[in-house]
C-alpha cells in the first residue's frame, strides 16, 4: 500500500457528498488526516462546478491517511460501507449523478483484494436488502477539492445540509462504531 515514512497508508473512497464521508473519517481512531477531492474522471484539475455537473467522470471522494496498526484497511472499508448506502447506483439520497457514486479507488492489488473480500462479506451477511453496487476501480488520478470544501462539517455545522444530512451520517458512525471513535480514546485517557 502507499506508505509514508511513518508507515501510514492511504485510501480513496467516494460515498456521495464528500462532506459526509470526510466528517465520518475525521472521527475514526487511527485516521491521521482526511482530504476532500475528486477522482476517476477524464478532466485534469477539475473544479467543483465542473464535477457537480456530472459529466467529468469524477466522483467526489475523500483521501484518508491512516495508521494501519490502529485501524486496518479492512476496518476503514467496513466503516465506509456501513455509514453510507452502497446499494444506491450513482446517488446518495437527494444527491444524484455519477459524481455521487459509491466507489473504492484502490491504490494497489492488496487493497483491491481486501475491498472485494469486504464487499462479499457484507453482501453475504444480508445487512442490506438490495445488492451492493459499489464500484472497485484502480486509482488513476486524484485532485484536491477547493479549500472551502475541506473540514466542511466541522466549520459549518449549522449549514442546513450539514445539520440534516451530514450529521445523520456522523450519528450513524457513532451508533455503529462508537468503540472505534477518537472521542472514546480521549474519554478513556482521562
What's the rounded Cα separation, in Å, for the pair 171 and 121?
A: 24
Place of cell 482530504: 35
17 catalytically annotated: yes
Edge-first strand listing for the sheet containing 31-39: 135-138, 102-106, 9-15, 59-66, 31-39, 142-144
Can you tell me which residue has the cell 450529521? 167
In sequence order, the 6+-apart residues with CB closer than 8 A to the CB of 3 are: 9
Catalytic, out of 11, 13, 17, 31: 17
Q: Are 151 and 159 in contact (CB under 8 A)?
A: no
The set of catalytic residues is 17
Amino acid at each position: 500500500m502507499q506508505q509514508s515514512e511513518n508507515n501510514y497508508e492511504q485510501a480513496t473512497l467516494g460515498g456521495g457528498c464528500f462532506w459526509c464521508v470526510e466528517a465520518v473519517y475525521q472521527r475514526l481512531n487511527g485516521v491521521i488526516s482526511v482530504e476532500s477531492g475528486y477522482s476517476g474522471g477524464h478532466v485534469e484539475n477539475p473544479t467543483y462546478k465542473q464535477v457537480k455537473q456530472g459529466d467529468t467522470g469524477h466522483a467526489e471522494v475523500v483521501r484518508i491517511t491512516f495508521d494501519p496498526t490502529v485501524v486496518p484497511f479492512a476496518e476503514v472499508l467496513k466503516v465506509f460501507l456501513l455509514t453510507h448506502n452502497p446499494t444506491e447506483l450513482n446517488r446518495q439520497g437527494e444527491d444524484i449523478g455519477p459524481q455521487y457514486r459509491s466507489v473504492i479507488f484502490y491504490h494497489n492489488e492488496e487493497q483491491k483484494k481486501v475491498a472485494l473480500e469486504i464487499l462479499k462479506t457484507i453482501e453475504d451477511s444480508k445487512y442490506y436488502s438490495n445488492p451492493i453496487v459499489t464500484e472497485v476501480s484502480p486509482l488513476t488520478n486524484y485532485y484536491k477539492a477547493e479549500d472551502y470544501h475541506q473540514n466542511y462539517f466541522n466549520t459549518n455545522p449549522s449549514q442546513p445540509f450539514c445539520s440534516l444530512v451530514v450529521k445523520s451520517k456522523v450519528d450513524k458512525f457513532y451508533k455503529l462504531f462508537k468503540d472505534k471513535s477518537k472521542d472514546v480514546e480521549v474519554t478513556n485517557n482521562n
